[in-house]
Amino acid sequence: ADVGDLNCATIVVLNDDTFPMNIQIKPEERLFLKNQFKMVYGFIEHNYHILKTEFWWCCAYKLVPALCWLVGNILMLDTLKIMELCQTDTSTPSKDTWSYVKGDDDDDPSGNCIAGSIMWVWILAICYIINHGIAFTVDCSIGDLKLGGKATRTLRTDIFAVMLQFTPESNSKFDTGKVMKIMENQTEAAVRLTWLNVFTLVEKVFTFFVVSSYVIYLGATSENGGFVLYFLLGAPFVVMLGQATVFFWCKDTIIEQNINTMHLDDKWSTFVVERANIRPLITNYRCGYKEAHKFEKIHKEYNEMWAEADGYWGVVQWRVATVAELIAMLFLGIGGMSVLNGQLAIGSLVTGL
CATH code of 287's domain? 1.20.1560.10
Q: Is residue 337 a part of any domain in this protein?
A: yes
Q: Is residue 140 a part of any domain in this protein?
A: no
pLDDT of residue 4: 60
Assign 61 a pLDDT band (cuts: 50, 70, 90).
very high
Q: Is residue 335 a part of any domain in this protein?
A: yes
State the average pLDDT over residues 265-276: 85
Instruction: Give dist(CA 20, CA 328) in Å, integer.
Output: 43
Q: Is residue 72 a part of any domain in this protein?
A: no
pLDDT in tens, 293-302: 999 999 999 9
pLDDT in tens, 159-190: 887 787 777 887 777 776 677 778 877 888 88
Q: Is residue 45 a part of any domain in this protein?
A: no
Percent of the chain with pLDDT over 70: 76
Q: Is the pLDDT of residue 91 over 70?
A: no
CB atoms inside a 10 Å sphere around CB 135: 17
Q: Is residue 76 a part of any domain in this protein?
A: no
Instruction: Give dist(CA 265, CA 263) in Å, integer.
Output: 5
Q: Is residue 60 a part of any domain in this protein?
A: no
pLDDT of residue 103: 45
Of residues 26 and 353, more confidently modeled: 26
Instruction: Give dist(CA 308, CA 279) in Å, integer.
Output: 33
pTM of the model: 0.69
> Which three-class secondary structure state does DSSP give residue 10?
coil
Which of 70-79, 219-228, 238-247, 289-298 has the lowest average pLDDT?
219-228
Q: Is the pLDDT of residue 84 over 50?
A: yes
Q: Is residue 331 a part of any domain in this protein?
A: yes
Assign 98 a pLDDT band (cuts: 50, 70, 90).
very low
Q: Is the pLDDT of residue 6 over 70?
A: no
Instruction: Find the DSSP H helices in the chain.
Output: 33-50, 52-61, 64-88, 113-145, 147-164, 168-171, 178-181, 187-190, 196-220, 225-277, 279-284, 288-340, 346-352
pLDDT of residue 118: 76
Most confident of 28-42, 192-206, 322-336: 192-206
pLDDT of residue 176: 64
Assign 113 a pLDDT band (cuts: 50, 70, 90).
low
Of residues 205 and 90, more confidently modeled: 205
Instruction: Give dist(CA 296, CA 285) in Å, integer.
Output: 20
Mean pLDDT of the chain: 79
- Containing structural domain, residue 276: 225-353
pLDDT of residue 334: 74
pLDDT of residue 206: 92
Q: Is the pLDDT of residue 12 over 70?
A: no
Q: What is the tally of structural domains in the chain?
A: 1
